[in-house]
Amino acid sequence: MQMNEDLIKQITNAVLAEMKQKGKDTGTTAVPSVSAMPSMAGRERIHEEKTSYASWAKAKKGTDPKEVVIGVGAAFQREIQKTICGIPLDDVLENVKAGIEEEGMVPRVVKILDTSDVCFMALEAAKLSGSGIGIGIQSKGTTVIHQKDLYPLSNLELFPQAPLMDLETYRKIGQNAAKYVKGEQVVPIPSTNDPMSRPKYQVKAALMHIAETEQLDPETGIIEWEGR
């Protein structure tokens, strides 16, 4: 959301400057009564630029039975740098990968450009994975562990409340995904729940999802992604 926040700041500053000017014109009686938040009405996108990945290497289906594929969102580490609660996406990815490696398995990262739905992202990652286990991570931080032969909206583990995630949880997600590969009895990461995250975060979640969705490029599909 970096660019969007910058944009809002820019517009806000412009409006404030204008208000100051008006204040001068009318002397000391003017009261700044208008809300400083400008309207976005009329704009069709959050980020004017769309990144092209047409020249990037397409993701291949893996053959290594130790492989866990991580499918990240279209805006991941580009238009969006941090999760909804401000964790840098570089650190998120590093921890998931470290978790997988700690359990002796091999991570591979792809960027998914044909869907921004986290369940489908995770399933596509699983289908590309040599082991059949995949992880989907949206840029806002929502994460799913999936297995290639499950129904799309089913999953092995789902972490729907992105505002409650921390790096330790991302690391455990990597570990658990690896354990599924090894066929171990896996104890799912305990659920967390904050009933008040919706009123605070839902609009931000919608904006971040729009920012991710507008970067989709279904014709390019899925590409190999090793970070920026």
3-state secondary structure of 154: coil
Buried b (16+ CB within 10 A) or exposed e, 49-69: eeeebeeeeebeebeeebbbb
Half-sphere exposure of residue 139: CA atoms within 13 angstroms, side-chain side = 31
Distance from C-alpha of 26 to C-alpha of 110, rounded to nearest angstrom: 58
CB of 198 to another protein, least distance (A): 5
Token reading at 98? 């470290």
Distance from C-alpha of 151 to C-alpha of 223, rounded to nearest angstrom: 23
**Smaller CB separation from another protein, 163 or 174:** 163
CB of 124 to another protein, least distance (A): 12
Residues in the chain: 228
**Smaller CB separation from another protein, 101 or 117:** 117
Q: What is the DSSP string of 34-81?
A: S-S----TT---SSS-----TTSPBPPPP--TTEEEEEE-TTBTTTB-
- Tell me which residues touch another protein (CB under 8 A): 37, 39-44, 46, 115-117, 120, 151-155, 157-158, 160-161, 185, 187-188, 190-191, 193-207, 209-210, 212-214
CB of 43 to another protein, least distance (A): 6
**Smaller CB separation from another protein, 98 or 186:** 186
Residue with tokens 């014709």: 219
**Smaller CB separation from another protein, 3 or 207:** 207
CB of 111 to another protein, least distance (A): 17
**Smaller CB separation from another protein, 158 or 165:** 158
Return all residues near 11 (Cβ < 8 A) that are at least 6 apart: 38
**Smaller CB separation from another protein, 95 or 161:** 161
CB of 86 to another protein, least distance (A): 16
CB of 18 to another protein, least distance (A): 18
